[in-house]
Amino acid sequence: MKTGLVLLSLAAFAAPCGDAPKPIEIIRAVITADAMRAAVAELSSDEMGGRFYRSPFAEKAAKWIEARFDALALAKGATKESYRQAIDKNVESGPNLIATLAGSGTGYIIVSAHYDHLRPKRTGEDRIYNGADDNASGVCGMLAVAQALKELIAKGEAPSCTILFVAFNGEEAGLLGSRAFVKSPTVPLGEIRGVFNMDMISRGPPREIFIDGGPIGAPVVEALKVANETIGMKLRLNEHPDWLDRSDQGPFLAKKVPAVLFSVEDHADYHKVSDEVAKIDPALAAETAQLVALAALNLSKAPFTARVEVVPAVPAVPAVDH
Ligand SMILES: [Zn+2]
């Protein structure tokens, strides 16, 4: 009898308003402008030295990202034991970082951003390319989406397929990380429902973001249009076909994987040492990440049939003679 009474009174307190929070309410509570600014400030600090490819500074940034993957209790996605996917034969030098959030349904969704930037200038008072917009903003957006999806799972709103969070390296050196990924994918390319790639999401007019995926990216754009009925940003869709191969969505589109780029127009601090956290619009980055989180959740629940991959014939490896 006593237990029954306690349960009754708990139930009365548990749901004073009746309805559970909607996914967008959960997403907005997690992905805030303040959290975005704080994260970008860390990743674009002078201590990160510009995070240039194959440098101790990029390694420092990699460890920073891995610590956040760990804090979110994401699964390791390159191998069972590691987030690190080698870009070249030297595993220790400049890897991609891959974490996963397992879902039960078919297919995969990738949320990605490159974490490398530029080598310091030889001379001058300020020599470090902080890359706050390019692309600490995108990496922090990707991590914020991961955090929001974790919270959605905790509140009973789990995505229906596995989500991969990928921090690419070597983007500034020629899309090296994303090229390596599509060459040795950790999941079948034909089973990827969509790629949301964020590269520079924190400068320009408020609440406005460019999204480019061309004809191949159309399924992702459709999911974004639906999500944006709730978010209400100004989406500049497919205005920049010249951007399709300019960031890490390019190698996926080349393999016919639906992928889009989220970006702002080049600005006065683009690839300058003055691309610093004080100049970013953290609300724009936060809202873009909210849009990605909601669209990814919806896309994970849509019907999906794996595409048939057209694998080019590979010449047989000649037998070794001894
Ligand atoms: Zn970039």
Kind and range of the H or E element at 183?
helix 176-183
List beta partners, residue 260. Answer: 196
Give the angle subtended at the CA of 254 by the CAs of 251 and 257, to the nearest 5°. 85
At 241 the pLDDT is: 97
Q: Among 304, 295, 303, which residue's Cα sits nearest to residue 111?
A: 295
In the reported structure, the alpha carbon of residue 34 is separated from the centroid of ligand 1 by a whole-number distance in angstroms of 22
In the reported structure, the alpha carbon of residue 241 is separated from the centroid of ligand 1 by a whole-number distance in angstroms of 17
CATH assignment of 21-301, given 3.40.630.10, 3.30.1050.10, 3.40.50.300, 1.10.10.10? 3.40.630.10
246 contact partners, CB below 8 Å, separation of at least 6: 261
At 2 the pLDDT is: 43
In the reported structure, the alpha carbon of residue 200 is separated from the centroid of ligand 1 by a whole-number distance in angstroms of 6
CB 12 within 8 A of CB 18: no
17/252 Cα distance (integer angstroms)? 45
Phi, psi (5° rounding) for residue 306?
Answer: -60, 140
In the reported structure, the alpha carbon of residue 304 is separated from the centroid of ligand 1 by a whole-number distance in angstroms of 30
Give the chain's count of helices (H) and strands (E): 9, 9
In the reported structure, the alpha carbon of residue 310 is separated from the centroid of ligand 1 by a whole-number distance in angstroms of 30
At 104 the pLDDT is: 87
List beta partners, residue 98. Answer: 166
In the reported structure, the alpha carbon of residue 164 is separated from the centroid of ligand 1 by a whole-number distance in angstroms of 20
In the reported structure, the alpha carbon of residue 254 is separated from the centroid of ligand 1 by a whole-number distance in angstroms of 19
Residue spans of the domains in the chain: they are: 21-301
At 320 the pLDDT is: 57
Pairing of strands 208-212, 75-76: unpaired
In the reported structure, the alpha carbon of residue 43 is separated from the centroid of ligand 1 by a whole-number distance in angstroms of 14
Q: Which residues of the chain have pLDDT under 70?
A: 1-18, 90-92, 309-322
Could you tell me the two tokens for 180? Answer: 């390596």
In the reported structure, the alpha carbon of residue 247 is separated from the centroid of ligand 1 by a whole-number distance in angstroms of 7
Amino acid at 182: V
In the reported structure, the alpha carbon of residue 28 is separated from the centroid of ligand 1 by a whole-number distance in angstroms of 25
3-state secondary structure (DSSP) of residue 28 = helix
In the reported structure, the alpha carbon of residue 255 is separated from the centroid of ligand 1 by a whole-number distance in angstroms of 21
At 36 the pLDDT is: 98
